[in-house]
Amino acid sequence: MATASPNLLARLAGVFFLLTIIGGIIAQAFISERLINFADAAATANNILANKGLFQIGFTIYLIEMACQVTTAMLLYRLLQPVNRSVALLMLLFEFTGIVIKTFARVFYITPMYLLDGRITFPGMEAGQIQSIALLLLKVNDYGAATALAFFGFSTLLGGYLVFRSTYLPRWLGVVGMIAGLGWLTFIYPPLGYTVFMFAALFGLAAAIAKIFWLIVFGVDEDKFRAVEAIQAETRL
């Protein structure tokens, strides 16, 4: 079936991509990093108990972020599948794998609050031990999110390739996307990923902003999109 409005797809993908980025920044930079100190279990426990409402809001924003990322993934798949349906499907599967891992990791983010406020009890354990377990769970959440980045690296790399080959989106956008994907792929080996994280994150954010801006403001070249889509339809016959 021919796409009814490729520019609507592009702009919706840009909007939901933007919401994903904003949600992640708010939850991570302004809530999680404000309350969690991985070097001090007691301080982290006190911060969470003193700001339970804020901590729960962070969890909610994380879930909204993942919902927006699922939507973005589906829209980008639909936008890029005329270039190469198999590669686009592989891109989507890698993205969904990362989303599942990251969403599951968020269970380890919220559990420490219930552990620290006594809703989950461990008879015979001292407060310091419970605080250490809570911090361990938060570290598992952090490592889970880092693991997801490796799969996002694969999907971003493939997405950049599809953009580069598309003709209806600028090639330079595909190039920066592939470079950003390589940056996230460093998390295949976590010690390397954490070492270069700041560089990968800054470049990845810049690439994401460029892509969001282009999708929302310029969309796609609809004539070229229709031509690519027609070629794909002919190859299926």
Whole-number pLDDT of residue 101: 97
Q: Where are the domains of the chain?
A: 6-236
Q: What is the pLDDT of residues 124-182, one digit of tens each?
A: 788 889 999 999 999 999 999 999 999 999 999 999 999 999 999 999 999 999 999 99
Question: How many Cβ atoms are within 10 Å of 210's Cβ, its own excluded?
Answer: 16
Listed in sequence order, the DSSP H helices in the chain are 6-25, 33-35, 41-50, 52-80, 85-116, 127-166, 171-184, 190-195, 197-217, 222-236
pTM to 2 decimal places? 0.92
With 0-12 CB in 10 A as exposed, 13-18 as middle and 19+ as buried, what is 191? exposed
Confidence of residue 3 (pLDDT cuts 50, 70, 90): low
- Contact between residue 34 and residue 25 where contact means Cβ atoms under 8 Å apart: no
Whole-number pLDDT of residue 118: 76
